[in-house]
Each structure stands twice: as C-alpha cells, then as structure tokens.
Structure 1
Amino acid sequence: MVITKVKATAKYVRVSPYKVRQLTPLIVGLPVGEAQRVLQFSEKVAASKPLLKVLNSAVANAENNDELDPDELIVHTAFADEGPTLKRYQPRALGRAYRIRKRTSHITVVVTPAEEN
C-alpha cells in the first residue's frame, strides 16, 4: 500500500513560531473539517489565520494534485520552524537603542487519507 502524504508550507510568515506551536498540537490527528473549525474559532487569531491558510492549501493540494477526497483527510503532522528574524531598533534615553526582534515562521502541514494511519 502506498502511503500518500500531501504537504503545504508557508514560509516567512510574520508571526512568532512560539505562537503557532501553541496551536499545532490541537489539530494533529483530527479530521480536516474538525481541524478547520478548531482554527476558525481559536482565540489566538494571529497564529490561527496563517495556520488555517496552510491547512486549506494542503487540502487543495491533496484534492487537485493527488485526486484525494477532502472529507477523508486527517492532519498527519503540523509544525512551525523558525525563520529569519528581522532586527529593528527602538531609540531609548541617553542615546541608547533597544533591539526589537520581529520573528518569522515557516509553517508546514501534512495531511493523509484516514485509512492509511
């Protein structure tokens, strides 16, 4: 039996990987429809919007490229790696400068058909 894993990745997303990693365990192992609902109604909007977008992209890849039924897919894995950090500076008193780190993420979601897990 050939195991089909379909992946979608979003790179350089302007949200901290820490914030995305709080949501990834909530959707792993869930059917795609239920995972989409969990992300839609999550209170962590900054991280759930890009994660939902990547999940929808993975479902679209499975449907269009591998001709899989989107109703039978489950989330196999989801993770957020750290991307490059944008470094900015904030002027402070007495001529000093404080560094501001604007973190980025590489978000990856893998979906598989339910019977193969």
Structure 2
Amino acid sequence: MTRFIDIGHLDDIPTEGARVVKTPLGCVAVFRTAQDEVFAIDDRCPHKGGPLSNGIQHGRSVTCPLHNWVISLESGMVEGMDEGQVATWPVEVRGGRILMDVARLDQAMAAE
C-alpha cells in the first residue's frame, strides 16, 4: 500500500543538491536534478558506507565521496559493476511539495 508523507518543499533542496531525511530504517538522501527531477535513495554507498548526500551529483547519478563509485539515482545500481545497489524510495512532487512513499517503513515496522 502506498503512503506518502510530505518531506519538504522542492526549493528546500538546491538545484543539483541533496538533503537528508532520517527514518527508522536509516538516512535517505533526496536529490534534485538540474531539471527539477527528485530522486531518493538510501544515503549509504554499498562499497564502504559513504554518505551519498555528500557526493557529487551529475545528471541522474551521484558519485560517492569516498571512492568515486557512480550510483544511478533512478535504479540505485552502481554503474559499470555487476554488484552493488542501494535502495530507492518513490517520490513525487505535487504543488512544489516533495512527497516520499513510506510503505517500506510501514512494512518494516509491521514485521517487528
């Protein structure tokens, strides 16, 4: 079941920048592209756990600040490798507000 929560205004994130949303499952990095697209992924590189929100965003990818792994904001896949992925979080922008689907949180909390 999809359940969206409001996590802020689009203008709260600079163009080609990121912000962090803290959840019970860990931090989520929310990125805004130059075209005002918004993507959300776990804020932890699968290689050494680097904070992806501190990485350099380019197009629909982010480069980990620790070891330069490039991760797709759309799929969470590490580019150029057969292994390595971060979880993605569905987001929408409505009326300038960023809404994040927290169904994953609901499932995790129900499993406890």
TM-score, length basis structure 2: 0.29
More helix by share: 1
Q: Which has the higher contact order (CA 8 A, sep 6+)?
A: 1
More strand by share: 2
TM-score, length basis structure 1: 0.28
Give the number of the structure whose alpha-carbon radius of gyration is greater.
Answer: 1
